[in-house]
Structure 1
Amino acid sequence: MSELVKKAYEIAKEQYAAIGVDTEAAMKKMSELTISLHCWQTDDVGGFETPDATLSGGGIQTTGNYPGKAKSVADVRQDLEKVMSLLPGKQRVNLHAIYGEFHGEIVDRDQVELKHFQGWIDWCKEQGIGMDFNGTFFAHPKAAEGFTLSSKNEEIRQFWVEHLKRCRAISAEAGKQLGTPCVHNTWVPDGSKDTPIDRNGYRTLLQKSLDEGMATKYPKEYMKDAVESKTFGIGLESMTVGSNEFYVGYAVKNNILMCIDNGHYHPTEIAGDKISAVLQYVDGLLLHVTRPVRWDSDHVVTLNEEIQLIASEIVRNDFMSRVNVGLDFFDASINRIGAYVTGTRAAQKAFLIAMLEPTKDLVAVEEAGKNFERLAMLEELKTMPFAAVWDYYCLQEGVPTGAGYISEIQKYEEEVLSKR
């Protein structure tokens, strides 16, 4: 098989060279891409805060009950190790605060500490990867009314401000120990099911809470803050406090990362178009790459036009060093490891396709006003032998080529997942 992959690659290499693309340079550039793997795909966003924890509230929903769900931190790590063994390139892990090692102790969100995540930091060291982090502002009694950082109940608001402070401190220490900045992302589900009167009051409180929670400044080589907007959540359809406009303004004002989750906008909005717009005003972005179907349904990422535009915008504009790429989907209706690997490889493919584009020639044609030629060139690129380059890249990285990972995951399901 490897010989066939090499032969196909040599032919593809010549075809790309004919349009001025260096395939070797493109594969080398893939080393600049690191994908942050969202730990919550392993267990359907349940976490280990309480025994038999289940997701509830906050506009998040996981569908399905496929066998093999991770039931402990050890299971999550085992699954992540398997996933990374089937992926080319570089990865890191993205944690929610509910994934600490609490050892059966009930630790409320305003009491989480570094000790609950030191095991994760140590595991990341062993794996040679970085770690990202998220405060968990949902699935909690103090989030049941629909407001957390924007709550008009001062006791509840301060509870969540304390949670934010502690999560940022944990993130900074993780980044310090691992030698790579930990991106700490803040998303809150705050909003109203029906039309509220005092939208401004809630947004004023959210800004106040963020200012309080982020008052302690950490070196950017240890931790980077990000804020994430959303159009609506389940049961919170009429108004979201942390809208896109709110968080773009907050990110620009405070020069922190804006998180663009491509499932968090209206269906007719194009998330990829927002990248160059926001990067005019902030130093960097965080991406949560998912696949919305009609709404923020967090389907497994596939190689579609939306994902391709996101990758192309980053590569065409040399934004790789300014964009942190993470995934955010959770599907419990299929094999969770299969979902991980398929979705991650789809995102990686989009970036490699972008790196195999003759960008300078396309820009020259565009600036000359040759719009037919631009369209024709983009169409022809769609049928270039990308798959041959992808397979060769995987071969070079020592991971399965083509659909070879399917049998690996089936074997893992038989030997590991089926016994849980």
Structure 2
Amino acid sequence: MAPGNARGSGSRGALLPMLMSYAASGGSLIISSAAQLLSFAILARFLGVHEFSLFVAITAISNIAVHMCGLGAMECLVRRVARDRTMYPVMLGHNMILTAASGLALVLIGAALLPFFFTLSSDPATNAAVITLMLVTNIVLVRVIVLAEQIFIAHSDFASANTVVVGFALARTIAAVLACLVFGVASVASFAIWQFVCHVLVAVICWRALRRLGRPEYRLVREELPLGLYFSVPFILRAVRQNADLLVLSLVATAEIVASYSVARRMLESSYLSVEALNRLVYPGSARATAEGLQHAMPRVRKVLVAATLISIAAAVAVFVLAPILPFLFGRDYVSLVSFVRILCWAVIPLAIWAVAVEALGASGHHPTRAAVMGLGSVFGAVLAAAATWYAPPTGTFVSFYVIEIAMVAAAWTALTRIVRRDRERAVEQQPEAGMAHGR
């Protein structure tokens, strides 16, 4: 499964480098996830179930909006700058214009609507101000920091990009430690200030590091506008799918159930990182293997499937076994936490299985099929999760989660096998034509 030699006599000799590459690929993700999980645990314990459930709900909304901020311009920057470094000033200005404009619109819309649904302070003006501050932090500032990471990637400076990821996660952990453990913050309204300051400091450090790459040229690259939107829509739909159940649950369930479920979801996301690290490692080799057709890479894809399945099973078992420790980290008020985590932890297995098929489609260049599978899955998944959560919380939430993931397995692998069958039939048809041409 290493990007180079996948079989043959050298495969054993390549085992150690492959394992080292896998460890390096997942290192920054795991460190970042561990830091975020620690921050989550600190906030859950010191804010309490009611305040923490409010924090989780507003964060879920921000997670959807952050994919709208910038209108997909980051992908355009990475693609264009990776091909031509002289495009950096223009693409940077393009990103800054779209990020500022869309970010302002999203914050204003959220500030106008969310105070009707969430109460962080008894004073209406303070409540609106705190919500606005959280939206600026979790939409605009997060997008700015992620943009800095993508700029480093566009310049092939992966060490700096990983530093941004890990540093950002550690900074948020430090902010949570200082706010809650040192200064005794116990409300979302108070923590919002700490969170804002933390994000501002990280953003300033990132952009000071980027000054050596050049100044922006402020103009829109019009031909990239539709491409950016096309790229961002699947991620927006995926974010809606990932947060629909949590948002509806916050409307129909108790604060304790919302808080415990959000932690269980975070544990699931953390356990998937081991599979994501594998996908990051094998993607370049899969792209090379599929250059002459997806059917040529199927032995490799099957090996990746076996590895991903085994890794996901190990991750699920580990989370299941360690679940009883979580109340010591998050607090005894989260009475549903252990059972929720143990119910949800097995969802990483179907998630890993369909992710292998989707990554193979992407590596082979079948992006329309990949986008259709993920986009339609996100739309139907969001509707099903919201409806099931509304009518039978939280049992319906868990049932819908597994139904969606298993349906994604069927959809992704059906799409993959159809393309493989089509490519094989096309190759068979071309063989007689090639023979006749050679005979002439």
TM-score (norm 1): 0.32
Instruction: Please identify the structure whose Cα radius of gyration is greater.
Output: 2
Which structure features the higher share of helix residues? 2
Greater strand share, 1 or 2? 1
Q: Name the TM-score, length of structure 2 as normaliser.
A: 0.30
